[in-house]
Structure 1
């Protein structure tokens, strides 16, 4: 049975170091912030820093697409949700949403493709069966979620006809 909800993965706050000369969160720090959410997902799946230390295997991000939708200011509380879009024996395709936690608006999204890597060989490697099962369990709980509007989009200038 599916509960069909994105997984609430992290709460955070916009730090003063993340603010640029426009007075809002700098674009580069969105990637930092989404990286923290990715770490939280990996912790949830049992593939965080302890997994890396114990197995000498980790995940590398192959590609990421960030959409900026609503600015956040210093001190803003943030809420991150994640939806697994797809997975196979070596890859996890995830979609993160960053919300202003008290005002409720969607601030940004980050779509990521992560690859399981053997750090000894620096080459891709299949995830162990128990990791594949953990990923599959999370995917099963989200199987009925709609594909996110921002996922899978290419970048281009849209012109009026």
Structure 2
């Protein structure tokens, strides 16, 4: 059941257009933070289906991938009936992990509403343990990474959460080799 690596991947992958739903709007009159993750999750599913990691892979080959870590930045409000598209950029992968970056963009005006950096683990669904990607999936990831390597590395990758002034002081002390 091995599949050949696709010849081409869009860089970055761009999701189908999605609309903000009424149930997603909170008492502040904008989309609740949880639903940004619904949009990110739909895009991860759609984007990595292209490399063979979709629903069929889980059903037929008993493999999947689970989120291990995410970092989200909320940049601009989304409101009822806004339309968005989400881009996905494969940053890196190894035999068991994929590191990726997403941006939710307003579908008409193009501004960025939120970004997410994620790390997911490949899982054997029968043992529920982290396991290596099959060779055909790894080959597809290599093709996708090569296409995405031409993109600029996102500036939001690897950010640290904290109050900016305190982070700067902490980083200065670390650079001097001083403990506080």
Query: What TM-score results when the alignment is normalised by the length of structure 2?
Result: 0.84
Output the CA distance in 1 between the equivalents of 2:44 and 2:12: 14
Q: 2:25 matched to which residue of 1? A: 19
Residue 136 in structure 1 maps to residue 135 in structure 2: no
Alignment RMSD: 1.7
Instruction: Give the CA deviation at 1:5.
Output: 3.4
Question: Which residue in 2 is equivalent to 1:98?
Answer: 104
Tell which structure's C-alpha radius of gyration is larger.
2
Deviation at 1:9, TM superposition (A): 2.6
2:9–2:144 CA contact under 8 A, matched in 1: no
Q: Aligned partners of 1:43, 1:78: CA distance in 2, in Å? A: 20
Do the aligned partners of 2:39 and 2:86 also contact (CA within 8 Å) in 1? no
In 2, Cα distance between equivalents of 1:105 and 1:91: 30
Tell me which residue corresponds to 1:10.
Answer: 16
Q: Which structure dedicates a bigger proportion of its chain to strand?
A: 1
Aligned residues: 160
* Aligned-residue offset at 1:3: 9.0
| 151-160 or 67-76: bigger deviation | 151-160
Give 1:118-129 correspondences, 5 Å limit. 118-129=124-135
Q: Which runs of 5 or more structure 1 residues have no equivalent in the other structure?
A: none
Q: Secondary structure at the match of 1:32?
A: helix
1:45 deviates by 1.4
Q: Helix, strand or coil for the counterpart of 2:86? A: strand
Contact 1:9 1:81 in 2 (8 A): yes
TM-score (norm 1): 0.94
Structure 1 residue runs of 4+, over 3 Å off? 2-5
Gaps of 5+ in 2: 1-7, 170-180
